[in-house]
């Protein structure tokens, strides 16, 4: 594993965080029905965490000698509130798996600070995942 592979992975993660920001903004505005206020609030709360993650990743990519992406992954379309929450859950599951891989890569190149920071982000993403799971149970 080399630094370029790590930078490429971090850029993919950054694209995912940018996707999450756009997705949460879009879903907050698009939520409908009696659940609208609760869902809009849920989506809006998540934006700040995702923005913080994106800023961290962009700065780390630069520190490692890379160029941060400015392209988000595509935002999945949703026909209703349930699909929005399911899309969020799917994105969180993928994100946690990607960050877990990135922790291993950071450790392989000896960047224990990055490994630790990524584990903190995994904790945030796990909380987001659990909230989406609870919403889907209702």
Q: What is the pLDDT of residues 37-94, one digit of tens each?
A: 999 999 999 999 999 999 999 999 999 999 999 999 999 999 999 999 999 999 999 9
Q: What is the pLDDT of residue 44?
A: 96
pTM for the predicted model, two decimal places? 0.95
Please state, in angstroms and rounded to a whole number, the distance separating the CA atoms of residues 7 and 57. Answer: 10
CB contact at 8 A, 31 and 81: yes
Tokens found for residue 82: 């349930």
Tokens found for residue 43: 């989506």
Determine the CATH number of domain 3-137.
1.20.1260.10
For residue 138, is pLDDT > 70? no
Distances (CA, A) of 110 to 5, 70, 105: 14, 27, 9
For residue 107, is pLDDT > 70? yes
């Amino acid at each position: 594993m080399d630094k370029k592979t790590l930078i490429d992975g971090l850029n993919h993660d950054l694209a995912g965080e940018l996707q999450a920001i756009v997705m949460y903004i879009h879903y907050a505005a698009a939520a409908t029905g009696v659940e609208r206020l609760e869902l809009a609030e849920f989506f809006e709360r998540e934006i700040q965490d995702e923005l913080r993650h994106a800023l961290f990743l962009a700065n780390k990519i630069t520190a490692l000698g890379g160029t941060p992406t400015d392209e988000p992954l595509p935002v999945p379309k949703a026909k209703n509130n349930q699909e929005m929450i399911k899309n969020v859950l799917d994105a969180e599951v993928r994100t946690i798996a990607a960050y877990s891989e990135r922790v291993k890569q950071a450790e392989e190149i000896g960047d224990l600070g990055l490994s630790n920071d990524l584990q903190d982000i995994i904790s945030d993403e796990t909380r987001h995942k659990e909230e989406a799971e609870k919403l889907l149970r209702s």
